[in-house]
């Protein structure tokens, strides 16, 4: 049975979204709807859409997270930061690193915090180096401490 926009919307409108079940049930067929929701005015729907897209993965999910990383809404950027760790597999692994670069430099402390955890979770040498750099240079002492713990394996 084909996936409809209404099906995807119904899943995302739930108070507690079962993202794993949604990703499995809808798959890549949901990505065009998720992209539309992610660009829409409803911040909650947009942020949920971004995270679900990250779980679905594949080439279509990378642009959704990349656009979300540029959103003026911190909640949407946090969703992109949270979803980064789900994009570790090729072909979107490089997208994850590019998006992480943006989000690790974000002006919002909350976005940077989630981006640090996701970047560390990617486990690549490049991301580990970026988290170590944040441990030295982030303007927030709390985030420097977090980055240190993440690179020491205690985060």
Domain boundaries, the chain: 5-151
Could you say which DSSP state residue 73 is in?
A: -
Query: How far is residue 142 from each of residues 109, 110, 119, 145, 149, measured CA to CA in Å?
Result: 10, 11, 17, 5, 11
For residue 153, the model assigns a pLDDT of 66
Which CATH number is associated with domain 5-151? 1.25.10.10
Backbone φ, ψ for residue 153 (5° rounding): 85, 10
**In order along the chain (155 residues), what is the average pLDDT of each group of 10 residues?**
94 96 96 97 98 92 94 98 83 75 96 95 88 96 97 68
Which H or E run contains 69?
Answer: none
For residue 152, the model assigns a pLDDT of 87
- Residue 66, token pair as written in the block: 């990349």
Backbone φ, ψ for residue 42 (5° rounding): -80, 105
**For the segment 44-64, what is each residue's pLDDT rounded down to a tens digit?**
999 999 999 999 988 889 899
Query: How far is residue 108 from each of residues 39, 50, 77, 91, measured CA to CA in Å?
Result: 20, 18, 9, 28
CB 100 within 8 A of CB 115: yes
Omega of the bond prior to 91 within 30 degrees of 0, cis? yes
For the chain, the first-to-last Cα distance in angstroms comes to 43
pTM above 0.85, yes or no: yes
CB 53 within 8 A of CB 35: yes
């Amino acid at each position: 049975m084909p996936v409809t926009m209404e099906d995807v919307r119904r899943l995302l409108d739930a108070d507690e979204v079962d993202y794993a079940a949604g990703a499995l049930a809808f798959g890549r067929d949901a990505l065009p709807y998720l992209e539309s929701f992610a660009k829409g005015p409803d911040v909650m729907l947009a942020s949920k859409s971004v995270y679900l897209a990250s779980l679905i993965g594949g080439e279509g999910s990378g642009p959704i997270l990349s656009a979300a990383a540029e959103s003026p809404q911190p909640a949407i950027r946090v969703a992109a930061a949270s979803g980064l760790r789900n994009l570790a597999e090729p072909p979107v692994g490089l997208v994850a690193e590019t998006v992480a670069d943006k989000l690790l430099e974000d002006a919002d402390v909350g976005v940077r915090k989630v981006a640090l955890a996701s970047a560390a979770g990617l486990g690549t040498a490049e991301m580990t180096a970026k988290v170590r750099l944040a441990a030295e240079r982030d303007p927030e002492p709390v985030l420097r401490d977090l980055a240190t713990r993440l690179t020491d394996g205690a985060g």
